[in-house]
Structure formats: C-alpha cells, structure tokens
C-alpha cells in the first residue's frame, strides 16, 4: 500500500488536469486552465474526488476544482476525470489555508465542503473549515451571492457551524439535520463520497447546511 501511494504521488505531476504549484493562474482559472468562461466551483478537502468528478460530470456548464493536500488521493480523482474525458474537472494539491494565494477575489462561484475533519487537534478549533478564520477567506474569494455547501455526519461540527454562521452574520439558506429525509436535489443525495456511503451504512444521519454572505454595504 505504501509503495502504491509513492507511485501515485510521483505520477501526479504528469496528469494534465492537476496543478501542484499553480503560479500564474490566480484570476485566470477559467480562461487559462479550463479554456472557457464557465463559473468556477471548489470542493475543499476533496479526497479521492468523488464529488468533484460527479459535479463536473452532471454539470458541463460549470468548472469544478477539487483541492486536497494528499497527492495519492488526488491521483484517484484526477485519473477518473481523465478516463471520463471531463474537461471541466481539475485538481489542485494544496493546503486549504493557501487558497487565497491561488484564487482572486470574486473568482469563485460556489464552495463545497464535504465531510471535513470535525476534530482538529485540541486547541486548534480554528483549523475547522467552517471556523471564522476560513469563513473570512471564503467571503473574500466568492462572487456576490456565492453559496457554500457543507455536508457532515458529525453533530458537533454541525452545531458549531450553525453557531458560527449566526455570529458571523451569514445568511442560512438550508439547514437539514437529516439530509435523506428532507432533500430531493440530486446534487445532495445523488452524489455520495466513500465516507458518506460508509456513514449511511452505519446508520448515521447526514447533515447539510447551505449559506451565503450578505452583500457588503
């Protein structure tokens, strides 16, 4: 298994739909990477890219970038996207903390956060992807009215996010404590990551939150 990870990591740089140091693309992703002017969607912490690939496959009218720091996982999603000839799916190997370096203000149309780590090390709550620190970053990168979607099985992260959104003045558009009893949108229930399928098999409820930031001024 370790050898396979090393092989995949080494092969990552050879994949045309992957960028590891995307210098020069800030503000130019649609034109210079995807070669179109479609809206740009990010999946943060995309893992093996299940959501990135499925969103791109189901919506040829958008561009989707999956971001993750773990190269072998990205290799899986990037390889799958190439097999499917998805010209509107791409991947970036980076820490989420660095995204302001690679994207310009207003460049992002929407953000998906699918099953992030709900329990960062003790004393590092700001590492949660829905902490005020990260919300400020998303707000700077999103277009006016841009949506943020969160899916999680973790009750603690779910309630933490709701409280944080209230404190930060975000506009809550959807709050489903049990997604599969309250949603019919195929992008929500028709796309499942490996984590999500496992959680459902274990009988856990999947929670979904959608929100946006009010217009400045």
User: Would you tell me how many other CB atoms lie within 10 Å of the CB of residue 27?
Assistant: 14
Residue with tokens 């996982």: 73
Determine which one of 23, 68, 117, 167 is catalytic. Answer: 117
Q: Is 117 a catalytic residue?
A: yes
3-state secondary structure of 63: strand
In Å, what is the CA distance from 216 to each residue of 32, 35, 140? 29, 31, 11
Q: Helix or strand or coil: residue 111? A: strand
Residue with tokens 């919506």: 59
Task: Residue 102: count other Cβ atoms within 10 Å of its Cβ.
Answer: 21
Q: How far is CA 37 from the centre of its chain?
A: 20
Collect all residues with Cβ–Cβ distance below 8 Å to 99 and sequence separation of at least 6: 42, 44, 67, 137, 141
| Contact of 137 with 174, CB cutoff 8 Å | no
For the chain, report the end-to-end CA distance as a whole number of angstroms.
Answer: 53
Judge contact between 155 and 204, C-beta under 8 A: no
Q: Which residues participate in catalysis according to the annotation?
A: 117
């Amino acid at each position: 298994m370790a050898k396979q990870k090393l092989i995949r990591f080494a092969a990552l740089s050879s994949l045309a739909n992957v960028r590891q140091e995307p210098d020069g693309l800030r503000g130019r992703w649609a034109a210079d990477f995807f070669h179109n002017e479609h809206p740009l969607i990010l999946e943060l912490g995309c893992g093996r890219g299940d959501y990135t690939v499925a969103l791109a496959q189901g919506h040829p009218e958008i561009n989707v970038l999956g971001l993750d720091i773990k190269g072998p996982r990205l290799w899986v999603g990037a390889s799958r996207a190439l097999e499917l000839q998805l010209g509107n799916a791409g991947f970036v190997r980076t820490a989420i903390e660095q995204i302001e370096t690679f994207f310009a203000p207003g460049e992002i149309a929407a953000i998906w956060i699918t099953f992030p780590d709900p329990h960062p090390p003790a004393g590092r709550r700001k590492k949660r992807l829905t902490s005020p620190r990260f919300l400020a970053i998303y707000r700077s990168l999103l277009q006016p009215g841009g949506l943020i979607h969160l899916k999680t099985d973790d009750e603690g992260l779910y309630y933490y996010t709701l409280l944080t959104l209230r404190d930060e003045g975000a506009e809550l558009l959807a709050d489903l404590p049990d997604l599969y009893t309250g949603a019919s949108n195929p992008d929500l229930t028709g796309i499942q990551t490996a984590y999500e399928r496992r959680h459902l098999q274990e009988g856990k409820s999947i929670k979904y939150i959608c929100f946006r930031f009010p217009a400045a001024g």
